């Protein structure tokens, strides 16, 4: 990415965050950046175009953070815990740090989902890698890393909105308690393992 394009995206992000998408104009982005309208329109056709560039850039930030975990020299179970904590924190931090832009994120669901596909693909790749490492180490007792990766991924995605909106806190669930519950559900389930295995043999 060129430095000029990156600067325009960051200026737009800050304006959107402080004033909101609707209250920010292309002219204002051009003036604040010091680049001029001609330069702005060289890189972006419209305000919606630069908005999606902001979303893409924020998603790349999340990807960079979770990819750092994959490179750590850690056992798979510890790596998975760090991944879970990182993605929960990064998704919330990304939306919260963008202030007034939060409403636009939630309103523009179709475009946001399209932009999130890149994050979904990368997250699933990372999860599969961690789970396969756990299988190879003998830590995880699972049959198919890809299927389990999809299950964990969408379970965590389902926590994003209530986590961002502070609904767990409103229900009196401390952050540490929430994280322990997530770990317990993913790593241990909710029933005693021998009893569970006996009852589910008929489903295989």
pTM of the model: 0.78
What are the structural domain ranges in the chain? 55-165
More confident residue, 200 or 173: 173
pLDDT band at 150 (very low <50, low <70, confident <90, very high): very high
**Exposed, middle or buried by CB within 10 Å (0-12, 13-18, 19+), for 54?**
buried
Closest CA to 61 of 130, 13, 23, 3: 13
Element (H, E) at 70: helix 47-70
Task: Give pLDDT tens digits for 81-131.
Answer: 999 999 888 888 888 887 766 665 555 555 566 667 878 888 999 999 999
8 A C-beta contact, residue 55 and residue 105: yes
- H-helix or E-strand containing 199? helix 193-200
The CA distance from 107 to 101, in Å, is 10
Architecture of domain 55-165: Orthogonal Bundle (1.10)
């Amino acid at each position: 990415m060129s430095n000029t394009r990156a600067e325009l995206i960051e200026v737009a992000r800050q304006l959107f965050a402080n004033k909101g998408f609707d209250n920010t104009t292309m002219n204002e982005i051009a003036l604040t950046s010091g680049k001029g309208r001609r330069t702005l329109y060289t890189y972006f056709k419209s305000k919606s175009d630069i908005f999606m560039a902001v979303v893409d850039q924020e998603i790349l930030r999340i990807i960079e953070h979770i990819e750092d975990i994959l490179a750590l020299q850690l056992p798979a179970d510890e790596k998975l815990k760090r991944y879970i904590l990182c993605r929960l924190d990064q998704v919330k931090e990304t939306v919260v740090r963008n202030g007034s832009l939060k409403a636009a994120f939630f309103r523009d669901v179709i475009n946001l989902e399209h932009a999130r596909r890149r994050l979904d693909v990368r997250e699933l790749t990372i999860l599969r890698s961690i789970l396969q490492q756990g299988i190879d180490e003998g830590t995880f007792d699972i049959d198919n890393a890809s299927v389990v990766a999809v299950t964990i991924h969408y379970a965590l995605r389902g926590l994003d909105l209530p986590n961002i909106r502070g609904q767990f806190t409103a229900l009196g669930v401390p952050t540490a308690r929430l994280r322990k519950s997530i770990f317990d559900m993913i790593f241990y389930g909710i029933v005693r393992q021998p009893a569970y295995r006996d009852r589910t043999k008929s489903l295989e």
